[in-house]
Amino acid sequence: MQTVEYSLGELAARFGLELRGDPDLRVQRVATLHHAAPGGISFFANARYRKHLEATQATAVVLAAEHAALCPAAALIDPNPYLAYARIAGVLHPTAVSPPGIHDSAVVGASARIAASASVGPQAVIEDGVDIGERVFVGPGCILQQGARIGADTRLTARVTVCRNVEVGERCILHPGVVIGADGFGFALDGARGWVKVPQMGAVRIGNDVEIGANTTVDCGAIEDTVIENGVKLDNQIQIGHNVSIGEHTAIASCTGISGSTSIGKRCMIGGLVGMAGHLTIADDVVITGFSMISASLKRPGSYSSGIPAEETKQWWRRVAQFRRLGARKE
């Protein structure tokens, strides 16, 4: 990732921030409060780091107005310091632009359509009927199966697999190892003869501005499509089952598993290691804390939790004994 340099005055004007300090001071990189050096910019949004703020060597700090008096550096004032910092980090450390063209070792089907401005990396495989839009980056080792469509300015970083007829929107980022459109877990039991595979005939439709973390998998639909709407953010190692739908701007943390045909609303925030049963409905604006088990639909906005925090083993076994006694009394 390349870096560039901006003056504090330029950053303040670009992002509508109040500047308290010299507008001609320049920054080239982001850094933590604790390890920042001159030329670095950091942010303060958590009172636990007050001692690091007061001792920081950063050239500038992004923070809320009520904390500006604590800052020994130039201050860029915004009521949401982390959001302002994210925008500044994006311009100081922009993603490198890949030169257009197709690497000699890539394998490209005769009927594939690849925009002249796109970049296809070494050992990528582009099958027949694939459509790759303007300025798309297809990294090394990626596989795009027949009929896949990739929207403009999307990046498939490396070893990404996009299966048959999957649609990926514009400005998406798919990190290494992502698999989109593999078969869902569909089997019918034939008594003692075992399991009969149910053909998975649907695809996956991914909207614009979606980011999917490393080694996350999104299964194709059984009949209709699995749908990930605009602005969704998925962390690493998430499993999305077949025919799941995820509403706009929902964010899901790592190692969460969502069973088939569950519908998740807009603007939800789902913590790590959450498990969801299938065929559920999660309302808009729901927050689910980490390690929760969701076995019934959540029909109203709000925050939901389950699971018991860790404690000393002896105390935990006392709790288990109490649970068992409660059950025994009811019987």
How many angstroms separate the CA atoms of 64 and 81, rounded? 6
Contact 92, 30 (CB under 8 A): yes
Contact 292, 277 (CB under 8 A): no
Q: Is the dihedral of CA 283, 301, 298, 250 positive or negative?
A: positive
Catalytic residue among 52, 103, 242, 249: 242
242 noted as active-site residue = yes
Question: DSSP for 103-146?
Answer: -TT-EE-TT-EE-TT-EE-TT-EE-TT-EE-TT-EE-TT-EE-T
How many angstroms separate the CA atoms of 57 and 259, rounded? 48
φ, ψ of residue 244 in degrees (nearest 5): -70, 145
Note the residue count of the chain.
331
Active site residues: 242
